[in-house]
Amino acid sequence: MFELFNYEFMQRALAAGLLVAVICPLIGTFVVMRRLSMIGDTLSHASLAGIAAGMLGGLYPLWSALIFSLAAAIGIEKLRKHFPQYAELSISIVLSASIGLAVVLISLANSFNADLMSYLFGSIIAVNALDIYIILGLSIIILVSVGLFYKEFFYMAFDEEGAELAGMPVSSLNMYFTVLTAMTIVVSMRVVGMMMVSSLMVVPVACSLLISKSFKNTIFLSVFFALISVVIGLFSSYWFDLAPGGSIVLTSVFILIAVIIVKRIFRMQ
């Protein structure tokens, strides 16, 4: 059963997948509770523009994706100040701009090649050593940051005005959190692909919200569900020759459906 891990590419795939399974729902829980679920899609589209730009300019795509994603994250925060009552409006504006830019850059590159496709739909088994180092480095930054600012991010998610009144530097922390979200997107793109990255931030969180007993519990359960999704998704993709990114996301959706059904059964009893 475990002979597939004799292959180095599968070891790298599993390592990348497990890291992503930890950081995606970790950031995703705060994102969902702040009702900013669309931010994942927006930043992943900005990353796509970054990848296209990287391919055009000969830069390593994950770096250019990170730069574009961070620029989009900062743009969202700046716009949010102009529309304080409509947080989602700034996200929609940056989403539109990112799609437009991505399409223009891809057309300039005059190609829609296999490499670009691997970023669109994920290519976990093609993760190379450099990818692993980048994923590991960014994951450590994300984990340490959430560890340090957990109580701040929690307060801002629960009651942003209250956090501000408590003397918290809410604007700076908002910016930092959005930057962490951008990093999470870039890290996850290689694994599940740009089209599905936000689902790994949202679906495991949705599962845990159905049964969690506290905020911390929500985070741990989300990570647990994401880890199961990655492992089952990766194994099934190997055995049944399926796309790994899609298998991981579909597994997480099946888990969500299972949790809903089990919860309903328990309620009926």
Partner 1 sequence: MGAEIIRVENITFGYGKAKVLDNVSTSVIDGDFIGIVGPNGSGKSTLLRIFLGLIKPQKGTVRVFDTDIEKFNQWGKIGYIPQKATSFNQGFPATVEEVVSANLYPVVGLAGRIKKTHCEKVDEALQIVGMLEQKKSMVGRLSGGQQQRVFIAKALVSAPRVILMDEPTVGIDQNSEESFYELMGFLNREKGITLVMVTHDIGAIDNRVNRVLCLSGGKLYEHDCAVSRASDIFKEAYGKRDSLPIIHRH
Please report, as ranges, the residues that interact with partner 1 according to CB under 8 A: 33, 35, 148-149, 151-152, 154-155, 157-159, 161-169, 209, 212-218
Specify the residue, 28 or 122, whose C-beta has the smaller distance to partner 1. 28
Give the integer Cα–Cα distance in Å for 13 and 34. Answer: 31
What does the buried/exposed string (b/e) look like for 142-155 if buried means 16 or more CB atoms within 10 Å of the residue's CB?
beebbeebeebbbb
Minimum CB separation of residue 128 from partner 1 in Å reads: 35
Specify the residue, 216 or 263, whose C-beta has the smaller distance to partner 1. 216
54 token code pair: 């990287």
The H-assigned helical ranges of 34-159 are 38-57, 61-82, 87-109, 114-121, 129-148, 150-158
Minimum CB separation of residue 170 from partner 1 in Å reads: 11
Specify the residue, 58 or 213, whose C-beta has the smaller distance to partner 1. 213
Indicate the burial class of 115 (C-beta count within 10 angstroms; 0-12, 13-18, 19 or more).
middle
Specify the residue, 101 or 219, whose C-beta has the smaller distance to partner 1. 219
Specify the residue, 72 or 173, whose C-beta has the smaller distance to partner 1. 173
Minimum CB separation of residue 235 from partner 1 in Å reads: 30
In the chain the first and final C-alpha atoms are separated, in Å, by: 38
Minimum CB separation of residue 251 from partner 1 in Å reads: 23
250 token code pair: 């579909």
Minimum CB separation of residue 176 from partner 1 in Å reads: 11
The CA dihedral of 219, 154, 72, 90, to the nearest 10 degrees, is 110
